[in-house]
Amino acid sequence: MLKSKNLVPRSRLFTVYFLISFIFIVLLIRFAQIQLFEYKQYKKRADINSIRAVPVSAPRGMILDRNGHILVDNFPTYILTALPNEVNKNNFSIISSCTGKDTSLLKRNFKRYYRGRFIPSRITKDLSFDELSCIEEHKNELVGINYSQLAERSFPSKVGMSHVLGYVKEIDRSLLNNINSDFQYDVGDLIGWQGIEKQYEYLLKGAKGVSYSQVDAFGREVGLVKEIANIKPFPGKDLFTTIDLGLQKTMEKLMSKYKGAVLITDPSSGEILSFVSSPDFSPEIFTGNTSLHEWRNLVNDPRKPLLNRITNGLYPPGSTFKMITAIALLEGLMIEGDEIIECSGIYQYGDRLFKCWKVSGHGKVNLDQAITQSCNIFFYQAVQRISMNRFINLCRNFGFGIKTGIDLPTELAGLLPTRDYMNKRYTSRGWSRGHLLNMALGQGDLLVTPIQLSVYINKIATNGNTFVPHFNLNKTPEPVIQINLKDQTWVNVQNYLFNAVNSAKGTGRAANPQMRGLKVYGKTGTAQNPHGDDHAWFVGYAVKGKKMVSIVMLIENGGSGGKIAAPLAGSAFKYIFNNNLDRIAINNGKSSI
Amino acid sequence: MVKAAYNSSQNFPLSVLLLPLVLTLIGLIALFSISVNQFGVIAITAFTKQLLFMIPAIGGFLVILFIPKYIIHKYIYFAYGAILLLVTVPFLLSTIAGTHRWINIGLPVAFQPSEFAKWIVVVCLAKYLSDHNLEIKKFRTLIFPILIALFPAAIILQQPDLGTALILLTPVFPMLYWVGSRPFHLFILMAPIFSIGTAFHNVSFTSWAIIMGIIVYIARPNLIFGIVLYFVNIFLGLLAPLLWNGLRPYQQKRILTLFNPELDPLGAAYQTIQSKVAIGSGGFFGKGMGEGTQTHLKFLPVQESDFIISVIGEEFGFITIAFMLVVFALFILKIVNLAYYSKERFAGLVLIGIATIFLSHVFVNTAMSIGLIPVKGLPLPFISAGGSFLLSCYVMVSLIIKMGMETIE
């Protein structure tokens, strides 16, 4: 009934008029009271007695090794701030003469941290006590200049694992607009930018507190407020990592001469005990006043120290890959236990010649011998029995071509050339099974990361029951992708690896430190690559009683795996199993061996 | 055709459009003042956002203006059903800023369906009341309209958004009053709320008991009914603190957070103090644009939306506040005036409902910023930053013009 008449008594209209007017008059009177009659009182409060809520930053959590040794700590430094409203920028020269820092740098910082006329803007940091007292002497000329403390990251244990620890970055105005996060950040806050600092930002960060202080109209603090209680900052949580400081430093020392990587893990838990990507750099480079020159040197260094070789370095795995081929043969029943193939040092496939590393040839070899002595010809021939798709699937089950899921922000998946990939790269006619022959030896288009090799050897060591490699000691280990092989296959492959280290002709003999009760397993690799000399590999593991560690050792352009990588792995095992085992405290009986 | 258009333009209540535009201008100036000093105007500020929001607001205004009145009247129940669904949708989505108020529509800004519930409920009530106007003197006729508003309000309360939920309920009573229901009936409905609300404060409860007694005496209902009504209310009031104290602290806290979900981490007292200092220190002429120390030292939280009046008070002074309040008063009085002179009951009711919505927003927002009532996050119409709300406000302006065009000569 849209058309029903609107009949409202006039009295009701006036009642409503009256009520509305009444409300507005009450509001108007109240505003008049505050703004006109109590103006002086409020004006005074605004001028000298304003309350400001100042955020109090929470100390960031420490990063510790597995035994509580401090890897990353907080260190108080002094910073200098300038209040834009008051400061005279010509006086920056006084600061410059006190601190030795260029005025242009001071001015640049001043602009970078500017947030408003009444908010102090940071102009420099890391002041020494002498510099501070020099500034204090000129206090009268330096109006609007103040100093305060700031917690910075420090690295008391002097480890070089910058790739893992990562660094924190201070948020400036341009960064603030680009951060996409659930947390509230402000200019001047620290944010984990790489490595563990980034990965575990949510644990390490803590929560800011609020301190109420009275400030005058120019933002100068004049005292604390008693009426409102301060909110205390909530410190970030400390993070225990799986790293063992002693082992880490020993490995770093061992690797200091080489370009390459060492990764030592506990296969029964996935815990990473040592992680060396060499050459590395000091994490301190991101905290202090690094000169542009130092930074350029780091970026332009041909040895690529900024590259995290373990998760982001791509390499052909070489002969360390042969176990996959062996497993494929054993699982597919394509080979009898002691089937013998003749190695004459050279093998012709189509119109191509494939060579064994031993020019004179290995003579008659079976599968065991082929791995022990790392014979290429055996695998060139045997691999032809395997279907490509099946082989690729097996590789994928061992984790190649996919990210391992390590708790670091960046990781590469490597390159596992599938049929589709090969068709795209070489067109479907442009490639042949010859490429597969190369892959069986860990060469060709195949590229892996050392962390992938670590998961691979851990799987072999534990009959497939290992865990995703990780740094967070308190994290429940995540199982890796399941792989179902016959028990006998595992036993055979493990035996081959044992022989490769222990038999007289084994290529990996140097990896055995010859200690009582210690059984060492492993495989060497000498990978051809387009960047120069061969890469030397050793992957393996050592078992003593119920305790087990695995190692992946890579020396870039180091030459023969047996001659370079295996002895270094031997030294690592020696350090671990020589009195240090209890501290490293690996394995709590979860091992399958 | 041309003549008809001319005739309708003669009836076009121009002031209803001009007054909001004046208010929007005041809002934009205040937002500009906040934005301009944030160094580097390149970033998307509240000011530029609000300018952009004017586009959908004008769009919404025009769309509603060109929908015939009878269509609105005919299909409003469908719109009501749709809005019930829409305010439920955010519960299925992830929370934004910890609440289920917004729907992410793939733009940098989210959409808040509860804003639209405000006027849809009003139009819906207007239709129901104009269709059932004969039995209005009976008490039971009051129940259904209350349910119409209560349904969406209950859902929105869970989002949680107490402010909007209360705003949905406020038009019910003025509209019932306008359509002729007995004031005493409305009093019976509202009495328990006051009884419980005042129960925690001795003086206010005593005053309320006296006022209630006088009203019951004047209204002269059936003696027994009057006595029962009075004592049930007193009893409720006495019981409330006992029940409250019987609750465990965490239960009390749960109820308190339900009724004040925006409980500021810095403490509500902080906001009120800062807002009063800002407004008070502005004086008669204000400190001038961009000169407000309270504003620019970031003492004021949510200064672009809930506390924008503090910015206006500090920088532009009492003179501007007074001007703004007068504009608001004229605007709302004009709506009521149009309601009185409109030909149809439906149109009149819509106008009264919208007037109530605007009035309660203005009252809650300003009263909060000068410490008259506790802090409750509600924006100031046309002035506060916020896209959905601005759109909703201009849709309501459009409805006012549409409903106000046909008046008794």
ipTM associated with this complex: 0.86
Of B37, B277, B372, the CB nearest to A46: B277
What is the pLDDT averaged over residues B343-352?
A: 90
Is residue A32 in some structural domain?
no
HSE (side-chain half, CA atoms, 13 Å) at B276? 22
Which letter does DSSP use for residue B173 in this model? H
CATH of the domain at A542: 3.40.710.10
Put simply, the answer to whether A53 touches B131 (Cβ < 8 Å) is no
**How much is the pLDDT for B352?**
93
- Would you place residue B135 in the very low, low, confident or very high pLDDT band (cuts 50, 70, 90)? low
For residue B352, the chain A residues in CB contact (below 8 A) are 16
- The percentage of chain B sitting over the pLDDT mark of 70, rounded to a whole number, equals 80
What is the pLDDT averaged over residues B321-335?
A: 94
**Same-domain check for residues A325 and A339:** yes
The top-scoring range by mean pLDDT among A281-295, A342-356, B173-187, B317-331 is B317-331
**How much is the pLDDT for A157?**
82
Closest chain A residue to B331 measured between Cα atoms? A20
What does the pLDDT look like over B64-90, one tens digit per residue?
988 888 888 888 899 999 988 888 887
- The 3-state DSSP class for residue B247 equals coil
Closest approach of B44 to chain A, Cα-based (Å) = 10
Put simply, the answer to whether B299 touches A24 (Cβ < 8 Å) is no
Domain boundary at A240, A260, A295, which? Answer: A240
Closest chain B residue to A55 measured between Cα atoms? B266
- Partner A contacted by B323 (CB < 8 A): no
Of B266, B296, B343, the CB nearest to A118: B296
Is residue B35 a contact partner of residue B315, using CB atoms and an 8 Å limit? no
Put simply, the answer to whether A46 touches B178 (Cβ < 8 Å) is no
Of B178, B276, B328, the CB nearest to A12: B178
For residue A45, the chain B residues in CB contact (below 8 A) are 277, 280-281
Name every residue whose Cβ is closer than 8 Å to that of residue B59 and which is 6 or more positions away in sequence: none
Report how far apart the first and last C-alpha atoms of chain B are (Å, whole number): 22
Of B177, B269, B317, the CB nearest to A35: B317
Domain boundary at A240, A270, A290, which? Answer: A240
- Would you place residue B9 in the very low, low, confident or very high pLDDT band (cuts 50, 70, 90)? low
Which letter does DSSP use for residue A116 in this model? -
Closest chain B residue to A26 measured between Cα atoms? B367
Is residue A294 a contact partner of residue A305, using CB atoms and an 8 Å limit? no
- The percentage of chain B sitting over the pLDDT mark of 90, rounded to a whole number, equals 22
Return the H-helix or E-strand segment holding A26. helix A10-32
Put simply, the answer to whether A228 touches B267 (Cβ < 8 Å) is yes
Separation between Cα atoms, residue B136 and residue A25, nearest integer Å: 32
**How much is the pLDDT for A131?**
84
Is residue A399 in some structural domain?
yes
pLDDT of B374 higher than 50? yes
Within 10 angstroms of residue B140's Cβ, the number of other Cβ atoms is: 8
**Same-domain check for residues A166 and A251:** no
The tally of domains found in chain A comes to 2
* b/e code B309-345 from CB counts within 10 Å (16+ = b): bbbbbbbbbbebbbebbebbbebbbbbbbbbbbbebb
| CA angle in degrees (0–180, nearest 5) for B188-B336-A27 | 75
Separation between Cα atoms, residue A238 and residue A231, nearest integer Å: 21
Q: Which domain holds residue B283?
A: 2-404
What is the DSSP annotation of A214-256? EE-TT--EEEE-SSSPPBPPBPPPPEEBS--HHHHHHHHHHHT
- The 3-state DSSP class for residue B385 equals coil
Is residue B68 in some structural domain?
yes
Put simply, the answer to whether B299 touches A52 (Cβ < 8 Å) is yes
Separation between Cα atoms, residue A222 and residue A209, nearest integer Å: 20
CATH of the domain at A82: 3.90.1310.10
Is residue A552 in some structural domain?
yes
Is residue A29 in some structural domain?
no
Put simply, the answer to whether B265 touches A231 (Cβ < 8 Å) is yes
Of A17, A42, A52, the CB nearest to B276: A42
What is the pLDDT averaged over residues B359-368?
A: 90
Closest chain A residue to B280 measured between Cα atoms? A35
Separation between Cα atoms, residue B30 and residue B45, nearest integer Å: 12
For residue A234, the chain B residues in CB contact (below 8 A) are none
Q: Look at A470 and B212; give whichever has higher pLDDT.
A: A470
For residue A2, the chain B residues in CB contact (below 8 A) are 69-70, 73, 130, 344, 346
For residue A41, the chain B residues in CB contact (below 8 A) are 280
Put simply, the answer to whether B332 touches A6 (Cβ < 8 Å) is no
**Same-domain check for residues A220 and A258:** no
Is residue A591 in some structural domain?
no
A233 phi/psi in degrees, rounded to 5:
-70, 150
For residue A212, the chain B residues in CB contact (below 8 A) are 270
**Same-domain check for residues A270 and A200:** no
- Would you place residue B263 in the very low, low, confident or very high pLDDT band (cuts 50, 70, 90)? very low
Put simply, the answer to whether B283 touches A43 (Cβ < 8 Å) is yes
CA B360 to chain CA centroid, nearest Å = 4
Closest Cα to residue A112, out of A130, A125, A99?
A125
Is residue B357 a contact partner of residue B169, using CB atoms and an 8 Å limit? no
**Same-domain check for residues A158 and A278:** no
Closest approach of A292 to chain B, Cα-based (Å) = 27
Closest approach of A586 to chain B, Cα-based (Å) = 42
What is the pLDDT averaged over residues B133-138?
A: 66
Closest chain B residue to A182 measured between Cα atoms? B97
Put simply, the answer to whether A31 touches B294 (Cβ < 8 Å) is no
For residue B370, the chain A residues in CB contact (below 8 A) are 27, 30-31, 34
Closest chain A residue to B133 measured between Cα atoms? A4
**Same-domain check for residues A200 and A278:** no
**Same-domain check for residues A468 and A553:** yes
Separation between Cα atoms, residue A37 and residue B280, nearest integer Å: 9
Is residue B205 in some structural domain?
yes
Put simply, the answer to whether B321 touches A35 (Cβ < 8 Å) is yes
Q: Which residues of chain A have pLDDT under 50?
A: 587-593
**How much is the pLDDT for B109?**
66
Helix, strand, coil % over all residues of chain B, rounded to 5: 70, 0, 25
What does the pLDDT look like over A96-141, one tens digit per residue?
888 888 888 888 888 877 766 666 777 887 787 788 888 888 877 7
Put simply, the answer to whether A8 touches B280 (Cβ < 8 Å) is no
Put simply, the answer to whether A116 touches B37 (Cβ < 8 Å) is yes
Q: What is the 3 state secondary structure string of A332-362?
A: CCCCCCCCCEEECCEEEECCEEEECCCCCCC
Q: Which domain holds residue A112?
A: 53-88+95-240
- Would you place residue B266 in the very low, low, confident or very high pLDDT band (cuts 50, 70, 90)? very low
**How much is the pLDDT for B256?**
63
Is residue A44 in some structural domain?
no
Closest approach of B91 to chain A, Cα-based (Å) = 19
Separation between Cα atoms, residue A360 and residue A298, nearest integer Å: 45
For residue A37, the chain B residues in CB contact (below 8 A) are none
**Same-domain check for residues A136 and A282:** no
- Partner A contacted by B322 (CB < 8 A): yes
Is residue A179 a contact partner of residue A185, using CB atoms and an 8 Å limit? yes
**Same-domain check for residues A236 and A252:** no
pLDDT of B2 higher than 60? no
Closest Cα to residue B153, out of B126, B121, B185?
B121
Is residue B116 a contact partner of residue B354, using CB atoms and an 8 Å limit? no
- Partner A contacted by B340 (CB < 8 A): yes
Taking the CA atoms of A372, A378, A379 and A383 in sequence, report the sign of the dihedral they define: negative
- Partner A contacted by B404 (CB < 8 A): no
For residue B313, the chain A residues in CB contact (below 8 A) are 31, 35
Of B39, B282, B352, the CB nearest to A116: B39
- Partner A contacted by B280 (CB < 8 A): yes
pLDDT of B112 higher than 80? yes
Separation between Cα atoms, residue A62 and residue A236, nearest integer Å: 8
**Same-domain check for residues A291 and A379:** yes
User: B132, B297, B299: best mutation site toward chain A, by most A Cβ within 10 Å?
Assistant: B297
The tally of domains found in chain B comes to 1
Is residue B43 in some structural domain?
yes
Q: Look at B232 and A494; give whichever has higher pLDDT.
A: A494
Q: Which two tokens stand for residue A305?
A: 């120290």
Closest Cα to residue B332, out of B303, B304, B363, B302?
B363
**Same-domain check for residues A307 and A380:** yes
What does the pLDDT look like over A354-375, one tens digit per residue?
888 888 888 888 888 888 888 8
Closest approach of A12 to chain B, Cα-based (Å) = 7
- Partner A contacted by B316 (CB < 8 A): no
Domain boundary at A189, A218, A240, which? Answer: A240
Q: Which residue has the tokens 């004040």?
A: B260
- Partner A contacted by B44 (CB < 8 A): no
Is residue A390 a contact partner of residue A328, using CB atoms and an 8 Å limit? yes
**Same-domain check for residues A213 and A278:** no
* Residue type at A218 in one-letter notation: F
- Partner A contacted by B182 (CB < 8 A): no
- Partner A contacted by B333 (CB < 8 A): yes
If you count residue pairs, one on A and one on B, with CB atoms under 8 Å apart, how many are there? Answer: 162
Put simply, the answer to whether A8 touches B348 (Cβ < 8 Å) is yes
> CA separation (Å) from A370 to A336, A349, A381, A496, A506?
14, 19, 12, 9, 10
- Partner A contacted by B283 (CB < 8 A): yes
Q: Which residue has the tokens 């332009």?
A: A300
